[in-house]
Amino acid sequence: MSEKINILLNKQTLTKNDLSYLLSLKNEERDFFLRGVGNKYVETLGKKVFFRGLVEFSNYCTKDCYYCGIRKSNSNAERYEIDDKAIVEAAIFAHENKYGSLVLQAGERSDTAFTERITKLLKEIKSVTKGELGITISLGEQSEETYQEWFDAGAHRYLLRIESSKRDLYYQIHPEDKKHDFETRINCLKTLQKIGYQTGTGVMIGLPFQSYDDLAEDLLFFKSMNVDMVGMGPFIEHTETPLYEHKDALWPIQRRFDVSLNMIAALRLLMPDINIAAATALQAIDPMGREKALRYGANVIMPNITPTANRKDYTLYENKPCTDEGAEDCSNCLGIRVEMAGREIGYNEWGDSKHFFKRQNKKK
């Protein structure tokens, strides 16, 4: 059996069937596969992993995704907004602690007051960190003008998960309306790439109605879109959301976790030079979840540096880890955790996706 895995570990072009098979592995065979990828990727990409300080600055959201705890219709969500001063302070914290990069994330809004505020904020963060701090943003679907304005203001990476690349499944987890349009989302990803952002996407793993084949297709979608970064993690049902009614049909939580690691490892084989994040949702299931992801293919970790008072309210899913710790605690414990995973931290480095530069060079 491990003969077959050995062949796949060294195969040039993995097919949907190959990927589906790898995603479904269990027990000893799965261990063999994960270790195989872990060893191979350290040889090619090295041991370095990069930090992105994550600030979840607001949970006001205009959208209504069926899986998400901060969806507009969840009237039980305690809404918060962190002011610009506190966001800039968090950016300075990231800079001083040699994180290299910052991720700004919030619920989705596209009104002018919001977009202008972000532009101003990006400029200010660039200025107070002397242009040294890399900035990734994750602020959903926006117009081309807005994406361009934010790029010009200093953001250079953008995360926009496709959530599922299978159109039918996309509409099983989102309302089927203009605000949640599958094609718009794909077009947004293309626009981001056209503008020159390093572009990241991702999916949730273990959604209701999702199969190994669907997940294999997701991996091939990342490849065909030629993305630079991927963040993906297990789906964790939230009691206050419509998808909760399917809780009994889900894979057991441990299986969702295991398949998430299989996805990361399989993606590392498929796209050896992209950045792959160890999603926080992994840690909600297993206290060492993100470190395991680092062993088997992930090379980016996003310590949460949201000011503590508001952290508990950014509950996309329940059981979110580290919601009651200060940012300092997190950075200290993370250094040790990364070392335990046999990796090194790229302090003060932007840790840009190598894939992005290869893509740019090809274009020239």
Residue 204 touches which of ligand 5AD, ligand FES, none (Cβ within 5-8 Å per kind): ligand 5AD
What is d(CA 246, CA 249) in angstroms, rounded to the nearest whole number? 5
User: Which residues, 6 or more positions from 38, have their beta carbon under 8 angstroms from its beta carbon?
Assistant: 265, 295, 296, 297
Determine contact, residues 234/253, Cβ cutoff 8 Å: yes
Residue 346 touches which of ligand FES, ligand 5AD, none (Cβ within 5-8 Å per kind): none
Alpha-carbon torsion 57, 63, 68, 69, what sign?
Answer: positive
What is d(CA 21, CA 319) in angstroms, rounded to the nearest whole number? 31
Residue 27, Ramachandran bin (φ over 0: left; ψ between -120 and 50: alpha; else beta): left
Q: Does 140 bind ligand FES (CB under 6 A)?
A: yes
Determine contact, residues 146/187, Cβ cutoff 8 Å: no
Residue 238 touches which of ligand 5AD, ligand FES, none (Cβ within 5-8 Å per kind): ligand 5AD
Among 118, 204, 229, 277, binds ligand 5AD (CB under 6 A): 204
Q: Does 66 bind ligand 5AD (CB under 6 A)?
A: no
**Interactions with ligand 5AD, residue window 314-343 (CB under 6 A):** 316-317
Amino acid found at 7: I
What is d(CA 73, CA 77) in angstroms, rounded to the nearest whole number? 9
Among 133, 281, 334, 338, binds ligand 5AD (CB under 6 A): 281
* CA-wise closest residue to 157 among 189, 125, 203: 189
Q: Does 238 bind ligand 5AD (CB under 6 A)?
A: yes
Q: Please, which residue, 205 or 341, has the CB nearer to ligand 5AD?
A: 205
Window 285-304: contact mask with ligand 5AD (x via CB under 6 A): --------------------
Shortest Cβ 338–ligand 5AD spacing (Å): 22
Q: Which residues lie near ligand FES (CB under 6 A)?
A: 61, 63-65, 68, 70-71, 107-108, 140
Q: Which residues lie near ligand 5AD (CB under 6 A)?
A: 67-68, 161, 163, 204, 233, 235-236, 238, 281, 316-317
